[in-house]
Amino acid sequence: MAEITNFKGEAQVLEDASLMEEAVNTLISNVGDRVRKARESKGIPRRVLSEMSGVSPRYLAQLETGAGNISIGLLQRVAIALDHKIEWFVGEEDPWTSDVLKIAEAYKSADHQTQETVMRLLSPVTDETRRASRVCLIGLRGAGKSTLGRRAGELLDVPFVELNSWIEEQSGMPVSEVMALYGQEGYRKLEAEALQRVVATHDSVILAVGGGIVSEPLTFNILLNHFHTVWVKAAPEEHMNRVRAQGDERPMAGNPEAMDHLKSLLDSREAMYARAGATLDTSGKSEDQSLQELLALLQEKKFIA
């Protein structure tokens, strides 16, 4: 009886080994077929792929015909040369027939805005959940964003953050020096990085941002997707007077047409500011009055839980 059991055990081992060998051969054949199709679809001769990947033409020929058991390291070189992830060659799904992999490749090559749209459509997370209890005050300088945001944060026991302060912390220099050294493009890059840091580290926050953030579409879309936004606005004359009251004469210094420029700036950005979830007009109002209106607005809109 023991001999029969032992015989059956050995037979099972042989069968398992045979199945395993068949699975390995199938994988090697599939990998080779996918490498060949990927190379041909890109119009790359085998010789050129050899030069790009550092894998010999002979080895590539064996690989593509299913006769070569390529190492993971060499396959990774081939994958990089063909601009594919290694999973594309070894996954169970056939990339040439799988809609999932085709969609993944299309997503990978899409621009950032398209990727954001796709993720928003596919994600079960609602806009309200994504924004959590983050509030961002947008608008031109002098509207009262920083003053109102700081006071509202204290009363609601919510952290207040000025994005420019994070940019200065990140760069190790004042914003004026960042602009002088790296220019507008460098500043915008740091601005986007700082915004992402706020999103990653705060589920509840009141944020004040520079007035020009709306001019950078990708950054502004990130802001709109992850914050409840309030456009803090005022009449052009009040914008100018408040900035000067802070001791900053730059808006008027040597520029008699500064007011016209400010009005033009407001007009050009109005449509973008209007994308905010709410608007607070501080024109002709005291600081305390504007603060009470902001608090009432946040409560009414349920922007902060």
Q: Which residues contact 210 (CB under 8 A, 6 or more apart)?
A: 141, 163, 164, 191
Work out whether strand 278-281 and strand 160-162 pair parallel, antiparallel, or are unpaired. Answer: unpaired
What pLDDT sits at residue 162? 95
Which pLDDT does position 4 carry in this prediction?
47
Could you tell me the domains of the chain? 2-94 (1.10.260.40), 133-301 (3.40.50.300)
pLDDT band, residue 196 (cuts 50/70/90): very high
**Contact indicator for 91, 58 with CB cutoff of 8 Å:** no
**Of residues 279, 274, 281, 272, the one with CA closest to residue 301:** 279
Confidence of residue 280 (pLDDT cuts 50, 70, 90): very high
Helices 57-64 and 46-53: crossing angle in degrees, nearest 10, is 110
Residue 256's pLDDT band, with cuts at 50, 70 and 90, is low
Q: What is the mean pLDDT of the chain?
A: 82
Q: Considering just the CA atoms, what is the radius of gyration of the chain in Å?
A: 30
Mean pLDDT in residue range 154-159 = 96
Task: Check pLDDT > 80 for residue 163.
Answer: yes
* φ, ψ (nearest 5 deg) of residue 279: -130, 135
- Residue 101 pLDDT more than 90? no
Per-residue pLDDT band at 175 (split at 50, 70, 90): confident
Which of 174-178, 229-233, 257-261 has the highest mean predicted lDDT (pLDDT)? 229-233
Distance CA 291, CA 305 (A): 18
Question: What pLDDT band is residue 252 in, cutting at 50, 70 and 90?
Answer: very low
Answer yes or no: is pLDDT of 97 > 70. no
Is the pLDDT at 229 greater than 50? The verdict is yes
| Average confidence (pLDDT) over 7-33 | 72
State residue 164's pLDDT score.
Answer: 92
SS3 per-residue string spanning 168-185: HHHHCCCHHHHHHHHHHH
- For the cut 50, the answer to whether the pLDDT of residue 74 exceeds it is yes
